[in-house]
Amino acid sequence: MYHITQLTNGLRLATAELPHMTSISLGIWAAVGSRCERESENGISHFLEHMLFKGTKRRSAAQISREIEGIGGYINACTSEESTCYHARAHASQAATLMDVLTDMYLNPELDRWEITRERRVIKEEIAMTLDQPSQLVLELSDETLWPSQPLGRSIAGNELSLNRTRKNQLSEFHANHYVSGSTVVVAAGNIRHRNLLDLAKRLTKRIPAGSRSNWFPAINDQLKPKVRLFTREIEQTHLALGIRTCSRHDSRRFALRLASVILGENMSSRLFQSIREEHGLAYSIYSTPNFHHDTGSLTITAGLDTAHLQKALRLTLAELRRLREKPPGSAELRRARDYLIGQLELSLENTESQMNWVGEQLLGFDRIIPPDEIKAHLNEIKPSDIRRVANDFFQPERICLSLVSPLKTNRSILKFLEI
């Protein structure tokens, strides 16, 4: 089902052939994100992503959207710490149009100065929206606390100072340095043959500048004790994010950690949800989310709750982390977690867009496409003792950072709770 071709210039093209589908999702991925940015250019990857929709040498911004929407299609983009993806979806018969528009955007952005000024204001509004939402703000604070003074801890969208510094010459230089053959992956998923993708991508493969893959700034982990970050705001609830530094996506322990996260808090059957929500009624919801990067990772537990319940909720949360360290889960609980994770994996690959994302993320993250059955096999190998082992590896005080958006005025009474 999966096919990959790597050209001599380093450009890779991949296809997930799904002949039973009527649609096609096409993505052009660049191995560049906020981890490639110096502090002075924080947010430039995301800024450039916005600007590629604002016109090319051949098309205006309106023409880009009209051309895709005129065939009943959809176009969007996203920027992360380690990649940027421009993607579109339409009926499979419109694959050539999708490729033409995306290639034009990727290779020939106009970067008009007036559009840059206007889009800078748009991104500032995007940042303001995040700051206005405590549940989003606390996640930004969590990253800053886990990865201080380094790209992983900075907002992908940037900040007002860095955005004001960004001009056409910086955007042009960043585009020229990073949107090159060795950093680019083209992915098609749906009713298309791999040889057809190779034909459709000829203009891109011939015109893309040669260059090697972008480099990321490495993660720095020098934390020696638990940390608390408090952002005081007059709001009704306290929003918390308990971040735990874990392992990279290349670490074999990630499979046991994924299952530990499910056991802890990824669904309504989880220990945290049952304790915090169902048994004690302290929060409407509480969830854990794992995140894996090239050289590090994190597991973040988030909740919103009445400030009066914060200390009790923290005690119960840390007790669950301690319980996993001290005693492995039962075989039935592990089986339920495994079945949930495998079921979620299968559901996540049901449509062409999710398949396109899967292939792009796999190629950029692992330099190969890991078959879903291989993931399932790894999960099936995990034993209860493996869950306890990763809990002891990672659920340690010196790996914990607690971030709060809260009406609290001080965090002095909170720090003592983080010794687990």
Beta bridge partners of 90: 24
Of residues 17, 49, 82, 333, which has the active-site annotation? 49
Instruction: Give me Rg for the CA atoms of the chain.
Output: 23
- Cα–Cα distance measured from residue 205 to residue 315, given in angstroms and rounded to the nearest whole number: 56
| Residue in the block written with tokens 């098309």 | 59
Whole-Å CA distances, 54 to 30, 51, 177: 18, 5, 20
Active site residue 49: yes
Residue 288 falls in which region: left (phi positive, over 0), alpha (psi -120 to 50) or beta: beta
Residue 301 phi, psi dihedral angles, 5° rounding: -105, 125
- Cα–Cα distance measured from residue 191 to residue 245, given in angstroms and rounded to the nearest whole number: 41
**What DSSP element (H or E) covers 378?**
helix 372-381
* Token pair for 95: 């694959």
Q: Which amino acid is at 359?
A: V
**What DSSP element (H or E) covers 178?**
helix 168-178
Task: Decide: 208 and 184 in contact? Cβ < 8 Å.
Answer: yes
Give the residue numbers marked as catalytic.
49
